[in-house]
Structure 1
Amino acid sequence: MLNKYPLWKNLLILVVMAIGAIYAMPNLYPDDYAVQITGTKTSIEVSTAQLEKAESALKKAGLSYRDAEFVNGQAMLRFDSGETQLAAKDAIQQALGSDYLVALNLAQTTPDWLRDIGAGPMKLGLDLRGGVHFLLEVDMEQAVNQRLEIAAAEIKRNLREERIRYRGIEIEKDRTLMVRFSSDEERAKGFSFVRRGYPEYEVREIESDGALYLRLRMTDAKVKEIADYAVKQNLTTLRNRVNELGVAEPLVQKQGQNRIVVELPGIQDTARAKRIIGKTANLQFRLEAKHDADFASSEEFSFRSEPSRTARIEREIIVTGESVANANQNFDENGQPQVNITLDSTGGKIMSDVTYSAIKRRMAVIFIEHKLDDLSGSREEGVAPKRSVERHIISLATIQSQLGSSFRITGLDSIQEASELALLLRAGALAAPIYFVEERTVGPSLGEQNIKAGVESVLIGFGLVLLFMIGYYKAFGIIANIALTFNLVLLLAFMSIMGATLTLPGIAGIVLTVGMAVDANVLIFERIKEELRNGLPVQSAIHAGFSRAFVAIFDANITTLIVAVILFAVGTGPVKGFAVTLSIGIMTSMFTAIMFTRFLINLVYGRRQLNKLLI
């Protein structure tokens, strides 16, 4: 028979359509509005006491919630509307204080059996689902100070290697280093060395209170270079961190001279995202001070795990987190969490040189975190945020042998802390601290309006196409409409499986796909009608219609697919969303318009002897 698929092809089509229907099904279950409560540190877990405080605050504010649950040491409360969710966030944050982070979230309602097979709804873009918008500010003053600290440590090492005796180096305001000498001869040697090796500093010989100094002031050009680098590096680091979080189509871009915008649509864990994005986690490797060390040459630090325990650490920095090439969470021989660190070639060489002469001494790993005391990022207009720096020892171990570029950091509180520290270091160190200037949620209500308008546009276009096909092609039009319906199902399924993000331009791509999918059927049906007019038998006309229309359909769709690929390659944000939807729609429409439509026509007409065809 001309119009009969082999059994394997029929089964393949049925399997594809069944899988498509199953994986498109989660889109029928909309997410719940939720508020997530988590500790500001990984060591702080949310207990029933905090949940009771939150419930009491909601009751006092006259707000009702649908359900509450604990997940991995965090609490989540579900609400019926976005307005209630927003009001609840403020009430709960005020009740729990700054030790807990209260963030907006969306909780899935997909049935467990669908989740078990990896099925989930499409991710919606910021314009449809809403999401979190962060405005971050890069601390340029700290960027310069950090570079001065590194330069001071490097100058100390180089002066010792050159056998130039100095009394000390101090960092002063106005991007200045003061190097103190005991004699004019040594200062002259130092002047010559610094002028030759550090052209980015303006060097002057000065005297103050009878002491001899070299004054190294960073040039304006170098300050601008550091500022540009800080923003550029922070942009890269934030993008890496967002990618590690698995956020779909995020926006991370520069705004003005020293601000960065981060938009996170459709994320599943906003609390963790805020903690990781906003955290300026960095490490410093320093030697423990000797017992007879000068008090001014060392600092006292407390241990992160035991705040009452302290140790004196040399001020001189060996390397920082900027030298970390890779970091992974693992476990030591006692089953305790640790972070394995690999330094880059420069950092590895410095570490090797320093530890060669420091065997049997102890080396500290110092964890540094810059943050705002107001974690929500909100503050009164014109009032500067309260900034603080926390510095703690997370490891103090004896150097048993000369070290290279590989380390392990132990003494961490939990697996989650080790995992987050590895993520932050692996994503790259921030070149300067960043602070939340603004946090806002792109409204669920606006997203709902956009979704409603988008769905209406798809339904109107889809409905008009259905009416036209039935009115013009009769029974064949009904078959085309069934194929068109399954085309939408497959499109939703593939977008859900691939984790593609649907935006308003993406909805435009769906509307375009509906039109393109029916174009293929129109070409096939018109070709069948032409073959019938030429006198071919019904079965031969059907076969010829599909065979001879294929080339035109294939060429038209391939050229459109090439354009979609180019749009995806060169476009950003909404353009990419449109290109993704269009590309998937082209492939699904090719399958449904040719194979699935042929399958249905074979099923209806393939085994019948026909003298006339209603088309």
Structure 2
Amino acid sequence: MLNFSKIKILIIYLSFIFFGFFSLLNFQSEKNVIIDKKVNLGLDLQGGSYLLLEIDTDPLIKERIQDKVIPLKKLLSKNDIDYKNFSIENKKIKFVIKPENLSKFNLLFFSKDENLLNPYIDQYNSFQLDLEEENNQLTIFFSKFGILSINNSALKQSIEIVRRRIDDVGTKEPTILQRGNKRILVELPGLKDPERIKELLGKTAQLNFRLVSETSNDFGSEKLISETGEELTVSKRIIMSGENLVDAQPRLDTQSNQPGVSFTLDRLGAQKFGKVTSENVGKRIAIVLDNKIISAPSIREAITSGNGSISGNFTFQEVTDLSLLLRSGALPTPLNVVEERTVGPDLGVDSIKSGTISLIVGFILVIIFMVFKYRVFGVIANISLISNLIMLIGILTILEATLTLPGIAGIILTVGMAVDANVLIFERIKEELKTEKSSIHAFDIGYNKAKITVLDANITTLLAAAILFAFGSGPIKGFAVTLGIGIMTTLFSAYFIARHLTSLIVLRRKDNIRL
């Protein structure tokens, strides 16, 4: 029906005003204190930094093979299998057993029942470890699928930690994506100097607490260098790791007036720390970050509260970064920068200019065509088109979406879809005017009959946009978002705004109408 109730009219134009208000936020020069929302520009539009990182799993595999030593020795001891010449080299465990124990060990090693040493990976239908035998010497190493499983797990964990670290810095709308089996793509729009980000991502931030050994030749100890250059012998036994931290914040020591980091431990960490500090009062405890001692204070009293602090020769920027690293968690592997690019703002300006020109040219051509072809109803179609774009920008602003060049392409395609919807409707009305005596009836039937075709075309495109969003990444998702929102605003503007404006003219002129 061409008649619109007052409530329906109110809802239509209040919706338009609501989205129009948000679209205007993008054009104000000063920051809005109450509503701080804008469409963010992507790397290709405003410039920024591009980093391609690669995980280095060699240290992790060495650590994991080392972790297998105790379960392996327990398995051998439990089953009365004698061994000799035990060694670890090149990420492999080697040892010699008696020939009569070979088949027994093989059965235990490749057992699927509660195998703590060599778990079965259902995803790959393979064991984590593999075994070679030569002259009674056994060599244990990670299988191809075991390494793949470690890689995948480390990559997923690294992506999450990279995201946390970058979010803590406050970078707007970063793009962090997996690339292949070992690489992470990081795009940082608006960031001209990526050095601080590289520094933050270049540290694994493996934090642990260990006791300083009283003598330099203690068994189970190693020598590490402190920040001041002092060489200390510390126990290899880790009292507590960074996994037990729940918070870390920069602070200023009121006594020394030096910056430091205050930390809070979880319940298990607090219990461990309390027990160790109560048993070792007077001794020194080394706080080790990435295998380097950053502080080695003396234990004056038992610390059972779960709160502590790290102090040293730090600047305030260093303690801020250290707090951030500890909060975000330790990277499972080091990250190496494989590729680095900085996109200058000039390139972004050129991209915006090109995209804007193409949108304006297309828009003007559409306006001229619609007015020439459909006269006053062409003007209505153009008003509908403008309102469509205003609402689209308004929704993108509410979502604080990132606009890229593919996103601009999605907006241009939206213009085409909107014009197509109006052309379909008006051509259908033309056909009805030839057979219907009443113009009001012809317009009503025309809108209703065109609805199926318009919905079919737009819903099909919406499904395509949903698939692109689900399986695409980065720029493809940006295109899918603008296209999907554009389709919904197109249907709203064509069947509510344009139809209402059309009804005002048709009901006023009645049968004196030409299309």
| 1:17 counterpart = 2:16 | yes
- Is contact 2:132-2:139 (8 Å) kept? yes
2:4 partner SS: coil
Aligned counterpart, 1:240 = 160
Residue 102 of structure 1 is matched in structure 2 by none
Match of 1:252 in 2: 177
Aligned length: 469
8 Å contact from structure 1 (residues 131, 263) kept in 2: no
Among residues 420, 433, 451, which one is paired with 2:334 in the alignment?
A: 433
Q: Distance in 2 between matches of 1:177 and 1:396?
A: 38
The residue identity in structure 1 corresponding to 2:48 is G
- What's the counterpart of residue 390 of structure 1? 292
1:278 corresponds to 2:179: no
Per-residue deviation, 1:281:
1.5
Distance 1:119 1:295, change over 3 A: same
Q: In 1, Cα distance between the equivalents of 2:325 and 2:344?
A: 32
Which one is further off, 311-320 or 497-506? 311-320
Partners in 2 of 1:129 and 1:508 — Cα distance? 17
Unaligned runs of 5+ in 2: 110-116, 119-128, 255-260
C-alpha change, 1:310 and 1:581, in structure 2 (3 Å) is same
Q: Following the alignment from structure 1 to structure 2, what is the Cα–Cα distance between the partners of residues 120 and 394?
A: 48
* Whole-angstrom distance in 2 between the partners of 1:326 and 1:557: 51
Between the aligned partners of 1:297 and 1:503, the Cα distance in structure 2 is: 56
Q: Aligned partners of 2:77, 2:264: CA distance in 1, in Å?
A: 33
**2 CA distance for matches of 1:284 and 1:226?**
27
Ranges in structure 1 where 5+ consecutive residues have no aligned partner: 30-109, 207-214, 370-388, 402-406
Aligned partner of 2:511 in structure 1 is 611
Letter in 1 for 2:292: E
Instruction: Give 1:237's aligned amino acid.
Output: Q
What CA distance in whole angstroms lies between the structure 2 residues aligned with 1:392 and 1:163?
44
Q: Which secondary structure does the structure 2 equivalent of 1:478 belong to? A: helix
Cα separation, partners in 2 of 1:310 and 1:161, compared to 1, 3 Å: farther
Q: Which residue of 2 aligns with 1:410?
A: 308
Q: Does 1:120 align with 2:38?
A: yes
Contact kept? 1:300, 1:310, Cα under 8 Å: yes
Residue-by-residue CA offset, 1:327-376 (whole Å, 9 max, x unaligned)? 556899x9984345588xxxx9xx99x9999694359684433xxxxxxx
Query: Aligned equivalents of 1:577 and 1:474: distance in 2?
Result: 35
Aligned residue number for residue 133 of structure 1: 50
In structure 2, relative to structure 1, the CA distance for the partners of 1:230 and 1:279 (3 Å cut) is farther
Task: Find 2:380's aligned residue among 479, 488, 492.
Answer: 479
Q: What amino acid maps onto 2:9 in structure 1?
A: N
Q: 1:487 to 1:360 in 2, by over 3 A?
A: same
Shift of 1:590: 0.8
C-alpha RMSD over aligned residues: 5.0
Q: Counterpart of 2:355?
A: 454
TM-score, length of structure 1 as denominator length: 0.61
Deviation at 1:133, TM superposition (A): 1.9
Q: Write out aligned runs for 1:548-587 (5 A).
A: 548-587=449-488
Matching of residues 154-169 of structure 1 within 5 Å: none
Q: Does 1:491 align with 2:392?
A: yes
**Structure 1 residue 587: deviation in Å?**
0.5
- SS in structure 1 of the partner of residue 359 of structure 2: helix
1:262 aligned partner, one-letter code = L
- CA offsets 1:367-404 (integer angstroms, 9 cap, x no match): 433xxxxxxxxxxxxxxxxxxx5343599988889xxx
Name the CA shift for 1:112/1:359 in 2 (closer, same or farther; >3 Å). closer
Contact 2:287 2:293 in 1 (8 A): yes
Q: Tell me how far apart the structure 1 counterparts of residues 310 and 74 of structure 2 sit (CA, whole Å).
A: 31
Equivalences for residues 29-48 of structure 1 within 5 A: none
Given residue 413 of structure 2, which amino acid in structure 1 is its aligned partner? L
- Offset of residue 284 of structure 1: 3.2
TM-score (norm 2): 0.71
- Tell me whether 1:142 sits opposite 2:59 in the alignment: yes
Q: Deviations for 1:287-325, whole angstroms, at most 9, x for unmatched residues?
A: x25757952433466888xx699976421346756xx49
Return the alpha-carbon distance in structure 1 between the equivalents of residues 267 and 148 of structure 2: 27
CA pair 163-290 structure 1, distance change in 2 beyond 3 A = farther
Task: Write out aligned runs for 1:200-349 (5 A).
Answer: 219=141, 221-222=142-143, 228-229=148-149, 231-244=151-164, 245=166, 248=173, 250-254=175-179, 260-266=183-189, 273-284=197-208, 286=210, 288=211, 295-299=218-222, 313-317=234-238, 324=243, 327=246, 337-341=262-266
Contact 1:327–1:339 under 8 Å retained in 2: yes
Q: Which amino acid in structure 2 is aligned with residue 420 of structure 1? A: L
- Alpha-carbon distance in structure 2 between the residues aligned to 1:367 and 1:421: 14
Sort the Cα spacing of 1:553 and 1:232 in 2 relative to 1 into closer, same or farther, 3 A.
Answer: same
**1:454, 1:507 within 8 Å by CA — same for their partners in 2?**
yes
Cα distance between partner residues in 2 of 1:159 and 1:309: 41
Q: Greater shift after overlay, 243-252 or 230-239? A: 243-252
* CA displacement, residues 470-521 of structure 1 (integer Å, 9 cap, x when unaligned): 0010011011111101211222222232233333333332222111111222
Q: CA separation in 1, counterparts of 2:131 and 2:414?
A: 61
